[in-house]
Copies of this chain bind each other. A is one copy, B any other.
């Protein structure tokens, strides 16, 4: 059985700030910040994102995000290793072990990003597959590539040596102490539009390999949009799956997330967390050549946080943590809002039209009720909903007597039989209803 985490994962991911370039010191600094300022609120994962194995990563950024046919750190079995110039502690074959130890020492968990498949270089070099009498060229599928990253070939379905390969890398990661694996080019293999879940067998091999390690490792699938018709398969074999393509600090993308949350609203359970992608808050973009404060207004950030929470998405901070300002930090440490990360909280879209949306959330365990009001317009507008219907919709008959807005701590307006708020442009309010 896959790992049945009782909460949607909360953590930090290096991508939004560092792109392909993050190094050991930077990972450690972010981990220390988390341990000191965020851990108590429930944040725990520190994830090194894409191409930690690539030499010269980021040096041709004007032409390529990922250098084609570039040099990669790899062992004799085609298993990628951290680029030792960026991750010095990985020298002498220690991989991410020392860094994972460091993170664990702070009371946190450690995660890495991988591309599905086996390095193209390993296949062309006919390297042996660890724990098998097969070679990489026998298990690599020359017709299965990633449309946007040149590093890997997919692994053939049913090939002798294929499961052994996945066992060999996941076993290595488990030995290092990895707690979270974000596997990319697997949730939606968009190069193959007539078969966009073409690597379903690799998801199965990954989960099987994880279970063999005996370690509680979260399996997170990217990129999105995940395929709703494969929901049952994600739910059976993975923990997180991205329901969106890469999310950035732009209103149209945030507005679009309401459509995606609508679609996936009843696919969340213990161990199964549809994923709205990283939070592009605070300072981001450096590795992409445009270091900046998030382009989201504060009201949009509240909208994002309210949606991610009431829907129950995993939360992964994209910001460089060491540069977090106080306002953003307060947003990320609102424990009353983060309560919604628990698996017993079930979010449902109550209403959505062209100009606003209303969501509710009910704890199946405690009966706690929440509601969020969202304004899609560029202008302020009042948004309201009938309390009686919210009660019904949330499946409880206990009358609602009061409301508390969680970002401000202020009481909500219960106008006779209605919950009401005047929302700023692109703004939101998140209420606990008692």
Asked if A407 CB lies within 8 Å of chain B CBs, one says no
Tell me the residues in window 184-207 of chain A with beta carbons closer than 8 Å to chain B beta carbons.
Answer: 191-194
Closest B residue to A148 by beta carbon equals B143
In the complex where A137-B68, A263-B229 touch, is A145 in contact with B142 (Cβ < 8 A)?
Answer: yes
Asked if A214 CB lies within 8 Å of chain B CBs, one says no
Contacts of A231 in B (CB 8 A): 228, 266
Asked if A140 CB lies within 8 Å of chain B CBs, one says yes
Closest B residue to A266 by beta carbon equals B232
A140 touching B69 by the CB < 8 A rule?
yes
In the complex, how many angstroms separate the beta carbon of A352 from the nearest chain B beta carbon?
Answer: 10
B143 touching A191 by the CB < 8 A rule?
yes
Q: Mark A122-151, 1 if CB is under 8 A from B, else 0.
A: 011010000000000100111101111010
Contacts of A147 in B (CB 8 A): 143
Contacts of A194 in B (CB 8 A): 193
Tell me the residues in window 281-300 of chain A with beta carbons closer than 8 Å to chain B beta carbons.
Answer: none
A interface, how many residues as a size bin?
35 or more
Asked if A235 CB lies within 8 Å of chain B CBs, one says yes
Asked if A265 CB lies within 8 Å of chain B CBs, one says yes
Q: Mark A239-270, 1 if CB is under 8 A from B, else 0.
A: 00000000000000000000000110111000
Contacts of A220 in B (CB 8 A): none
B137 touching A143 by the CB < 8 A rule?
no
A392 touching B1 by the CB < 8 A rule?
yes
In the complex where A349-B232, A392-B1 touch, is A69 in contact with B142 (Cβ < 8 A)?
Answer: yes
Q: Which of A69, A126, A145, A235: most chain B CB closer than 10 A? A: A69
Q: Which residues in A have some Cβ–Cβ distance to B below 8 Å?
A: 1, 68-69, 120-121, 123-124, 126, 137, 140-143, 145-148, 150, 191-194, 228-229, 231-232, 235, 262-263, 265-267, 349, 392-393
Q: Pull 14 A–B residue pairs with CB atoms less than 8 Å apart, ordered by A.
A: A1-B392, A1-B393, A69-B137, A120-B142, A121-B124, A142-B150, A143-B146, A143-B191, A145-B145, A191-B192, A193-B193, A193-B194, A228-B228, A266-B267
